[in-house]
Amino acid sequence: MVVLLVPIMMFHGQRRYVAARTLTFVATAALTLALIGSLALLIEGILDHKDNPASLLRSAAVLWIINVLVFALWYWKLDAGGPLGRDQAVGPIRSSFLFPQMYKQPPDADWSPEFADYLFLAFNTSTAFSPTDTPVLDRWAKIMSMFQSLLSLTIIAILAARAINVL
């Protein structure tokens, strides 16, 4: 990650936006693959009884938090052309998510989702296994949301299974 962060920071800016955006996608994909790999190791640890229960529960909690952060980053970077695309949009943005601020009356024409909005969406998706106040509109976002919910459900099911097993 550090190897990717250096060029991302160097390319950050209007002139090299495409390079920074591409490297950010590579870094986020690497984080996603690491999350999936870590989840597989967590499952293996439970099946093989290699780790103590406290360590497994800590690992599962960390994976759940990483799941929220990684998908918040995916949503933030992909939706409506990413942060720069949303900032440069003229008029209402074409978002894959229908945030409540977009349909309140009277509408706020200057409102655009920020990272905290996507973090809230990702947190709710990981907690409730579905978005709560923000409908998902586009297919890519629906698939990402389903995948995030699946990972979260797997992590939480492992937490519950291990907790019950310890009892």
pLDDT tens for each residue of 123-146: 999 999 887 889 999 999 999 999
- 74 Cβ neighbours under 8 A, 6+ residues apart: 28, 32, 144
Q: What is the mean pLDDT of the chain?
A: 84
Q: Is it the case that residue 71 has pLDDT exceeding 70?
A: yes
Give me the percent of the chain exceeding a pLDDT of 90: 42
What residue segments make up the domains of the chain, in order of their start? 2-166
Q: Compute the distance between CA of residue 121 and CA of residue 136 in angstroms, rounded to an integer.
A: 10
Under CATH, which architecture does the 2-166 domain have? Orthogonal Bundle (1.10)
Instruction: Note the helical H segments in 15-129.
Output: 17-48, 53-78, 82-88, 100-103, 115-128
Give me the percent of the chain exceeding a pLDDT of 70: 87
- Opening angle at CA 119, ends 128 and 35, nearest 5: 75
Phi, psi of 136, deg, nearest 5: -95, 125
- 61 Cβ neighbours under 8 A, 6+ residues apart: 159
Coil, strand or helix at 136: strand
pLDDT of residue 7: 63
Q: Is 93 in contact with 86 (CB distance < 8 Å)?
A: yes
Q: Is it the case that residue 14 has pLDDT exceeding 60?
A: no
pLDDT of residue 43: 84
Residue 97's DSSP bridge partners are 136
